[in-house]
């Protein structure tokens, strides 16, 4: 079954976990005594380790992947960071998905077009869809932060707030400027006050790797795997 743009957006919003987004406001939660510096240079799309390589992608397709990768990271954070409700990763993600729905739907279609375009002649539609599914799964899995959850969650919270406040049609600007920062936050960073060792309430919090069956064609984690 192929997803249209409207179906794709419905799937993305599906991980909303039934939390209303009305009146969502920026959070000011702080998990660190001194926040680590995860900032990095803007991405162009060809940097190793930042995105899943898409051989032969056009500039438009790379732009779409940059936005889609950041969205995947924030989606993953909405699930992974619920141990700290003050970060508001769930309501912020839900709200920004609605705010930037048109841009995200376009990026989704652009990425679908890429996999159709690079497929070998005679490749079945199901095989093309499977390649896109695999790309989405790998993108989601790349944000697993078992040993760096606090840094990732706080960074994702702040980037999500910026994305939500960004004018419609400009999500790509945020993605280019902040995606490397989101990636950098996946590196384990200790804190003298709120580390797992000194704060038992955060100890043992992790997210196991999810199997491909846990993701739908839009790359969204299915409810049965929550």
Tens digit of pLDDT at every position of the chain (226 positions): 333 444 444 444 444 433 333 334 344 455 554 567 677 788 988 888 899 999 999 999 999 999 999 999 999 999 988 888 888 999 999 999 999 999 999 999 999 999 999 999 889 999 999 999 999 999 999 998 777 788 898 899 999 999 999 999 999 999 999 999 999 988 876 654 444 443 333 333 344 455 556 666 665 666 676 6
- Determine the structural domain holding residue 98 and report its residue range: 5-13+35-225
- Domain assignment present for 86: yes
- Domain assignment present for 29: no
- Domain assignment present for 188: yes
Rounded-to-integer distance, Cα 167 and Cα 52, Å: 27
Closest to 10 in 3D by CA, of 114, 97, 135:
97
Rounded-to-integer distance, Cα 65 and Cα 60, Å: 9
- Domain assignment present for 47: yes
- Domain assignment present for 26: no
- Domain assignment present for 20: no
Q: Give the number of domains in the chain.
A: 1
- Domain assignment present for 143: yes
- pLDDT for 150 equals 82
């Amino acid at each position: 079954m192929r997803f249209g743009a409207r179906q794709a957006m419905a799937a993305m919003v599906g991980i909303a976990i039934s939390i209303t987004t009305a009146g969502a406001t920026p959070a000011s939660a702080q998990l660190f005594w001194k926040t680590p510096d995860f900032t990095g240079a803007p991405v162009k799309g060809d940097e190793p380790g930042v995105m899943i390589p898409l051989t032969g992608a056009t500039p438009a397709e790379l732009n779409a992947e940059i936005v889609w990768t950041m969205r995947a990271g924030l989606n993953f954070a909405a699930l992974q960071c619920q141990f700290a409700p003050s970060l508001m990763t769930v309501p912020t993600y839900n709200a920004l998905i609605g705010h930037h729905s048109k841009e995200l739907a376009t990026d989704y279609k652009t990425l679908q077009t890429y996999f159709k375009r690079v497929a070998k002649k005679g490749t079945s539609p199901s095989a093309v869809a499977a390649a896109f599914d695999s790309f989405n799964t790998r993108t989601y899995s790349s944000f697993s932060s078992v040993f760096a959850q606090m840094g990732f969650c706080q960074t994702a919270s702040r980037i999500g707030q910026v994305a939500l406040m960004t004018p419609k049609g400009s999500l790509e600007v945020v993605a280019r400027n902040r995606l490397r920062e989101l990636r950098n936050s996946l590196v384990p960073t200790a804190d003298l006050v709120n580390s797992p060792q000194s704060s038992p309430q955060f100890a043992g919090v992790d997210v196991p790797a999810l199997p491909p069956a846990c993701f739908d064609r839009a790359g969204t984690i299915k409810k049965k795997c929550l």
